[in-house]
Structure formats: structure tokens, C-alpha cells
């Protein structure tokens, strides 16, 4: 066979500024393979995976500014993940992802890994989100290494949610452990649950120091959550309502005129 | 007789060392050459050839003229030959070795009439078997056939055959069993023969309209020849181990360059590169008019998989190809896209369809409906603590764990679809709740107390918020 120089992976081709020691949302360089460990009795894993994916797609892709991203998102679940955590609900997905989710229900973890790898190989996908329950034998270090190499080779990002799993050996570039956190009270009904908030711990990363954060999904943007206990009541008393019904009172509104 | 004794008798004796391997090789070549008279030939070492001329004699004008042609061709080559033609290989052998010159046994003839007088040695038997037959008094083929009972009386024939078979019952090989040989000669049992098959060596050549005098043109011809050679080798499923390049010059001189390869190779660039290094000392003279490349030693080399997946490896697959791969392995039901359906019931408001089908138009979602990120396939029953049966839950037990409800919003009442369901279907009151650890759920109470459609309503957990 003739010697063909292998194509350099997009992970090497992309501009790479000096890595920041401390992780924060909106970094330009995002890893291609991340793992998120989450309990199966809550949707915090999938929620954080979606939030991180949207964060990475908006902040690291230079083409995202011009025009809407119409690439599909592949969401792979194995049978255990479906049984314990359910399937994605269309009406609950972020509005910009609602029409471009392709769901794969794999019977076994092997099939789920196959689907993940095929998805990473596809150039027309925005990202791949996987959910695998437990620590199956198929998801060994070799399998995760395959996923890492495939993702970095083709430049498709993968967030793999591990439900009820012990953090075993893996070659994921960033490994998160997440659980749900009390949400900030909405502005109009403090007794109601607020926007999605998580307590996320980055316990293994290649370019960042480990750390813990309270993160919240603020209308599609991943932000550091303000601690509801230490927050002073004077400034911006509460987080806005999760479903931004409240329109700012401008124009011909009587309330705006009365206040002026 | 020893060579010394022979030399003592005849001092002028010329001694030539025997070369059995060379004789066999020459016989092999002769067998291939003899395929001019028939499509199929076999060697009969040390000095015989068998050619199958079934249906081919008329091409030479009949069987007599075919044998005359054989005599003429061998005489031209300086070889003496005793041809014979018979329906079976054994009969032809017997006739050519012990029969009259140019004997022909027609298919209609009785073989024993023509062959009966031949000695039993015409049966191609071993020496010890011939000795045994001689001691038995059997000297002619006819006598053997008479003993073996090829006569008129079937009973006597069977008895005689039986006696002969018992006499040679331990002799399994045809050369040691006269009965078997006789049957082969008469065509009663088949006699498999090993044919000689010619395999020509791969050869490509270019005759040039203008003699080549310059090196770059020769390199170009060399590259073309290697590609032709690769194509030839590929058709045969072989790879070259030794290649010979012959260059005919205008003045009749032939220059030969030979390379040997470490492993069977079928790569044009590799072959060209190796030969180009050997062409530096070629004296073109008045020009080279023909270039020939032969693979004098080739080995089987399986066809390698072309890089079918290489494009996918380097550029990634298209979305349709990805969906195809997934649905072929996982089944078409496993790869789907969620689409909105016109319904208020949450599990019915979402359908699954093939991922690349067009999405049907749907009504926009109501913005104040906060739906969970994930919906369980079947709503799971929970045990709820409440202050009043149709009030806000205080805590609940799900999957064996008790959770205190910290914050709650609701109810959002979803009525049953009366046009689809029976009249006893109960309404659902959905609550968004958050427990003390911050986990957010979507639970519902099926029915209300006193709606006349059942007893105390049950509670279910239906979805998980992010």
C-alpha cells in the first residue's frame, strides 16, 4: 500500500489560543469528546449536555454568526437510558433544536457505540449527544478512545451522558459530574420552579483546572448561576421567568407611561 | 552392463549422462506442443504422450491423415514417433507400443480382435505382475481376456473373472492388476488422466512507430508498460516476483534488464521506479523499436479492497449515508425524528417518523407551556402525600425514594380528548415541582375526587425537567 499521509485532525487545525486555566462558559476552544456523569432520576445530564453543546456551537464555530445553523443533532440512547430517563420531548427541547433532532434508540450499548461512531463520522451533523446507562463492558477505555479519535478526526463534537455510572477509565477530554441544583425563583411566581440549574463539577480535563460551578440555562445561554441565598434582594431581585412571557413595558403601555 | 564393460567391448562409445528431469521438462513442452492436434494432452512418462483428438480428426482430413501429420511434424523436429489412435488411452498405448505402425482402432471395431495378439506387456503392467502372468501361462491379451471370461457364456465369464480377481485381490493399483488394466483398455472402467495445462507468462509489449533515442520517452513507455502489466496481472489475480524488460534496438541487439521483487507486487509506480533506476546504462544506438515486459515469475496475490471507505474516512459521510448505515444495523424503527402531532395529551402530541421525511406543518407551541426535557415512555405511578386530595402535593415516593416537594406550579389541566377516548377517561392535572435537592419533575394527578369516573385519583410521574 502506498504511504498516504493521514489528514490532520480538525482538533489540530483549529486556531488554538493558549488554554485558559479556569473553565468558563463561552470558551472558543471546546473539546471534541466530553463525558457527563449524571443520576438517572433527573434530566440534568441531558440538560447540561444540551447547554454545553449550544454553548460550544455558538462560541467556537465561526460560521454560526451568518445564518441559522440547520445541521442535525444526533441523539443516541441505549435501552437502559430510555427506560430510566425517558426519551427527549419535542416540546421541551430548546426552540432552535426542536426541528433538527434525530433520535436513535439503540437496543444495546454496543449498538449505541456504533451509532455514536457513525454519527461522529458524518460531516452533516452539528454534534452528537449520547446517553448510556451504567458501566457496560462494551464502553471500555478502547471504545472511548475510538470515540475521541473519531470525533477529533472529523470535527464533530460528542457529549456522552453516563447515567448512574461510576467514573471508570475513559479518554474523554473533559469529564463532568452533574446534579440538579435548586433553581432561582422566577420573577412572577417565586413559588414555582425556575430555570434549569445544575451543580456541575469538572473533575478531569486536559486543558483546564478542575473545579465546581453552579450553572444555569438562561434562555438558551449557559451562565454561572447566582446563588439564591447570598444574593442581595435589591439588585435584579430574581431570575426572569423561565418562559419569557414578560415583555418589557415600552411604547404605548399604560404602565410605562404611568411610571414615566 | 556397466559402462566399463561396454567401453571394453566398444571403445568408440559416446557416453552422455542421463538427465531425467530435463527429459521430463522436454516431454512437458512436447505435450503442450502436441495440443495442436487436440485440445487436451497428457504426459505418459518417460516417453509417451496422450492427446485427446475426439472430434478433431476431421480438421486434418481424417484419422489416417492426422497420424501422417503427426509423423511429419515429429520428423521435422528430428524425433522418431510411433503414433496410434484408439477409443481408449490404454488401447492407444498398447497399439503404439506393441501394435503395427500407425494402427487405428475405430470405435466400431472389436478391440480384442485387433489387440488380442498383443503381449500382456501392452497392458502397462509392472514387471512382477508380468512375471506372475507368464508363470500362469498367460502371454497374450486374448488369452487373458479368455481367462477373464469375455466370452459368450455369462456364467463362465463371471466365474473366470472371479478367479482372476481373487488371484490379484491385493493389487489395488491399476499397474499391478491386469483385470483392471484390461477393463480400462476395453473402456469398461474410466481412466483419469492428468492433463498438461499451459499457463503463459504475463507479457506486455509496445512496438514503437519511431525508434526511441531519448531517455524521457523511454521512461514514458516504461510507465505505460508497467500499467499494462499491472492490468494483466490483476486479471490473473497474481503479483510479479521477477520482471524482465527487453529492449529491441534497430540493429537487432536485445538489451535485457531483470529485477526481482521481495514480495509479489502489483503496483505500477513501484515497478516503474525500480526499472527507471536500471535504465541509466542503456545504449540506445540508432534507437529502440520495441519494448517488452514479461513477468517470468509471478505468485498469486489476492485483489485488495480498494479504498471504498477512504473518502468517508477523510471527508466524513453524508447525512443520508449515515442514516442508511444506522438504520441497516439498528433497524428502521430505531432511527427516527420527533415531530409534533395535533393533540393535547403529552405522549400523543409527539410522533416519530423517518428522519429524512419532510416534517409536517404543526401549530406553534404555546409559550407558557413549560414542557419537560424528557418524557418517560410510560408514566410511572408515585405515592403522593398531600394536604387535600385535589391540592398541591407535599412529597412523593418514586423509585423507592421519598422526595420533599419544595416548590410547585400548577395545576395545568389537560382534559381527555372526548372525540377519541371513552367517556370514562379521566382528566389530568399536571404540576411542575421541584424537590429540596433541586430536581424538577412533571407529575400529574389522574382525575379529581368526585368526578364520578373512579375512586381516589392516582398520581403519576411523567417527565423530567432539565
Q: Which residues in chain A have Cβ-Cβ distances shorter than 8 Å to B304? A: 1
Mean pLDDT for A123-134 is: 93
Asked if residue B411 has a cis previous peptide bond (ω within 30° of 0), the answer is yes
Model pLDDT, residue A116: 95
Average pLDDT over residues A144-151: 94
The string of DSSP letters for A79-130 reads: HHHHHHH-EEPGGGS-TTTGGGEEEEEESSHHHHHHHHHHHHHBTTEEEEEE
Q: Which pTM does this prediction carry?
A: 0.58
For A192, the closest of B314, B319, B432 (CB atoms) is B432
Which SS3 state, helix, strand or coil, does residue B405 take? Answer: strand
pLDDT value at A128 more than 90: yes
The answer to whether A217 contacts B438, with C-beta atoms less than 8 Å apart, is no
Give the least confident one: A57-61, B241-245, B351-355: A57-61
- Tell me, yes or no, if B350 comes closer than 8 A to chain A by beta carbon: yes
For residue B317, the model assigns a pLDDT of 80
pLDDT at B250 over 80: yes
pLDDT of B6 over the 80 cut: yes
| C-alpha distance from A94 to closest chain B C-alpha (Å) | 9
- Give the DSSP letter string of B296-341: EEEEE-PPPPP-TTHHHHHH-B-HHHHHHHHHHHH-TTTEEEEEE-
| pLDDT single digits (tens) B304-322 | 776 666 666 677 788 888 8
The pLDDT tens digits of the residues spanning A13-47 come to 555 556 677 888 888 888 899 999 999 999 999 99
Is the per-residue pLDDT at B300 higher than 80? yes
Question: How far apart are the CA of B271 and the nearest CA of chain A, in angstroms?
Answer: 13
* B330 vs A: CB within 8 A: yes
Partner A, chain B 267-286, Cβ-Cβ below 8 Å: 267, 269
Which pLDDT band, with edges at 50, 70 and 90, does A120 fall under? very high
Contacts of A102 in chain B (CB under 8 A): 323, 335-337, 355
Q: What is the pLDDT of residue A226?
A: 65
Write down the pLDDT at residue A234: 39
From the CB of residue B362, how many other CB atoms can be counted at a distance below 10 Å?
A: 15
Looking at every residue in chain B, the average pLDDT score rounds to: 88
Rounded Cα distance, B296 and B258, in Å: 10
| pLDDT of amino acid A230 | 45
- Distance from the Cα of B355 to chain A's closest Cα (Å) equals 6
Question: Domains in chain B, ordered, with CATH?
Answer: 24-186 (no CATH), 203-300 (3.30.1490.100), 364-464 (no CATH)
Domain A29-61+69-226+242-259: CATH superfamily, name plus number: P-loop containing nucleotide triphosphate hydrolases (3.40.50.300)
Region of poorest pLDDT, from A125-129, B1-5, B302-306: B302-306
Q: Terminal CA-to-CA distance of chain B, rounded, Å?
A: 107
Between A89, A123, A191, which is nearest B373 by CB? A89
Name the residue in chain A with its Cα closest to that of B321: A122
For A189, the closest of B371, B409, B438 (CB atoms) is B409
Q: How confident is the model at residue A65 (pLDDT cuts 50, 70, 90)?
A: low
Average pLDDT over residues B400-427: 90
Residues A145-154: what's their mean pLDDT?
93
Kindly report, residue by residue over B82-94, the tens digit of the pLDDT: 999 999 999 999 9
For residues A73 and A214, the answer to whether their CB atoms sit within 8 Å is no
Reported as a pLDDT band with limits 50, 70 and 90, residue A235 is: very low
Of A50, A124, A243, the CB nearest to B368: A243
Q: What is the pLDDT of residue B463?
A: 94
Q: Do B359 and A99 touch (CB under 8 A)?
A: yes
pLDDT, average across residues B166-186: 87
- Say whether residue B342 is in contact with chain A using an 8 A CB cutoff: no
CB contact under 8 A, B334 and A105: yes
Residue B324: closest C-alpha in chain A: A118
Give the pLDDT score at A16.
54
pLDDT digits (tens, 9 = 90+) for B113-146: 788 888 988 988 999 999 988 898 888 888 887 7
Domain map (residue ranges) of chain A: 29-61+69-226+242-259
Amino acid at each position: 500500500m502506498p504511504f498516504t499521509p493521514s489528514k490532520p485532525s480538525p482538533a489540530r487545525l483549529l486556531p488554538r489560543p493558549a488554554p485558559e486555566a479556569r473553565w468558563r462558559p463561552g470558551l472558543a476552544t471546546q473539546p471534541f469528546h466530553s463525558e457527563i456523569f449524571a443520576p438517572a432520576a433527573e434530566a440534568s445530564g441531558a440538560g447540561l449536555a444540551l447547554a454545553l453543546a449550544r454553548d460550544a456551537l455558538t462560541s467556537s464555530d465561526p460560521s454560526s454568526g451568518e445564518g441559522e445553523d440547520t445541521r442535525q443533532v444526533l441523539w443516541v440512547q441505549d435501552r437502559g437510558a430510555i427506560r430510566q430517563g425517558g426519551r427527549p420531548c419535542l416540546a421541551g427541547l430548546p426552540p432552535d433544536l426542536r426541528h433538527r433532532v434525530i433520535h436513535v434508540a439503540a437496543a444495546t450499548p454496543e449498538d449505541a457505540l456504533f451509532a455514536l461512531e457513525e454519527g461522529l463520522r458524518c460531516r452533516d451533523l452539528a454534534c452528537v449527544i449520547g446517553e448510556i446507562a451504567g458501566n457496560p463492558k462494551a464502553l471500555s477505555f478502547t471504545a472511548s478512545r475510538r470515540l475521541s479519535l473519531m470525533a477529533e478526526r472529523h470535527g464533530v463534537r460528542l457529549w456522552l451522558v453516563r447515567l448512574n455510572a461510576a467514573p471508570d477509565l475513559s479518554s474523554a477530554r473533559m469529564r463532568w459530574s452533574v446534579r440538579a441544583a435548586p433553581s432561582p425563583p422566577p420573577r412572577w411566581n417565586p413559588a414555582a420552579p425556575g430555570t434549569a440549574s445544575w451543580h456541575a463539577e469538572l473533575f478531569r480535563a486536559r486543558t483546564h483546572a478542575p473545579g465546581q460551578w453552579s450553572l444555569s440555562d438562561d434562555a438558551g445561554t449557559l451562565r454561572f448561576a447566582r446563588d439564591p441565598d447570598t444574593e442581595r434582594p435589591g439588585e435584579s431581585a430574581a431570575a426572569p421567568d423561565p418562559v419569557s412571557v414578560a415583555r418589557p413595558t415600552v411604547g404605548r403601555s399604560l404602565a410605562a407611561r404611568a411610571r414615566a | 552392463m556397466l559402462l566399463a564393460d561396454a567401453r571394453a567391448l566398444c571403445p568408440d562409445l559416446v557416453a552422455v549422462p542421463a538427465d531425467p528431469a530435463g527429459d521430463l521438462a522436454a516431454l512437458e513442452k512436447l505435450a503442450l506442443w502436441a495440443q495442436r492436434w487436440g485440445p487436451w494432452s497428457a504426459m505418459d512418462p518417460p516417453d509417451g504422450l496422450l492427446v485427446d483428438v475426439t472430434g478433431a480428426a476431421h480438421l486434418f482430413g481424417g484419422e489416417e491423415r492426422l497420424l501422417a501429420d503427426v509423423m511429419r511434424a515429429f520428423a521435422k523436429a528430428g524425433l522418431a514417433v510411433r503414433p496410434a489412435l484408439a477409443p481408449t488411452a490404454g488401447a492407444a498405448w498398447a497399439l503404439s507400443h506393441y501394435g503395427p505402425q500407425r494402427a487405428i482402432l475405430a470405435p466400431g471395431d472389436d478391440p480384442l480382435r485387433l489387440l488380442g495378439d498383443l503381449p500382456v506387456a501392452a497392458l502397462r503392467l509392472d514387471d512382477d505382475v508380468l512375471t506372475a502372468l507368464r508363470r500362469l501361462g498367460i502371454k497374450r491379451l486374448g488369452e487373458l481376456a479368455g481367462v477373464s471370461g469375455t466370452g459368450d457364456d455369462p456364467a463362465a465369464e463371471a466365474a473366470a473373472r472371479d478367479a482372476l480377481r481373487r488371484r490379484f485381490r491385493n493389487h489395488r493399483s491399476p499397474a499391478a492388476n491386469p483385470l483392471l488394466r484390461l477393463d480400462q483398455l476395453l473402456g469398461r472402467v474410466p481412466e483419469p488422466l492428468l492433463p498438461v495445462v499451459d499457463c503463459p507468462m504475463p507479457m506486455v509489449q509496445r512496438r514503437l512507430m519511431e525508434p526511441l533515442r531519448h531517455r524521457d520517452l523511454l521512461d514514458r513507455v516504461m510507465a505505460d508498460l508497467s500499467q499494462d502489466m499491472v492490468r494483466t496481472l490483476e486479471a490473473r489475480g497474481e503479483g510479479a516476483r521477477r520482471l524482465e524488460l527487453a529492449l529491441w534496438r534497430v540493429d537487432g541487439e536485445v538489451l535485457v534488464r531483470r529485477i526481482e521483487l521481495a514480495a509479489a507486487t502489483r503496483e505500477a509506480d513501484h515497478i516503474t521506479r525500480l526499472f527507471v533506476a536500471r535504465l541509466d546504462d542503456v545504449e540506445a544506438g540508432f534507437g529502440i523499436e520495441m519494448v517488452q515486459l514479461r513477468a517470468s515469475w509471478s505468485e498469486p496475490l489476492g485483489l485488495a479492497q480498494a479504498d471504498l471507505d477512504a473518502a468517508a474516512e477523510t471527508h466524513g459521510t453524508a447525512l443520508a449515508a449515515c442514516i442508511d448505515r444506522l438504520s441497516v444495523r439498528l433497524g428502521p424503527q430505531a432511527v427516527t425524528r420527533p415531530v409534533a402531532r395535533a393533540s393535547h395529551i403529552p405522549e400523543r402530541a409527539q410522533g416519530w417518523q423517518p428522519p429524512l421525511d419532510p416534517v409536517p406543518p404543526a401549530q406553534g407551541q404555546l409559550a407558557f407551556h413549560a414542557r419537560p426535557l424528557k418524557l418517560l415512555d410510560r408514566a410511572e405511578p408515585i405515592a403522593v402525600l398531600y394536604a387535600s386530595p385535589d391540592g398541591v402535593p407535599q412529597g412523593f415516593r418514586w423509585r423507592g425514594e421519598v422526595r420533599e416537594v419544595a416548590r410547585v406550579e400548577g395545576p395545568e389541566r389537560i382534559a381527555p380528548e372526548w372525540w377519541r377516548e371513552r367517556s370514562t377517561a379521566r382528566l389530568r392535572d399536571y404540576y411542575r415541582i421541584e424537590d429540596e435537592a433541586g430536581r424538577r419533575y412533571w407529575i400529574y394527578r389522574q382525575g379529581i375526587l368526585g368526578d364520578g369516573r373512579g375512586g381516589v385519583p392516582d398520581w403519576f410521574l411523567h417527565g423530567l425537567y432539565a
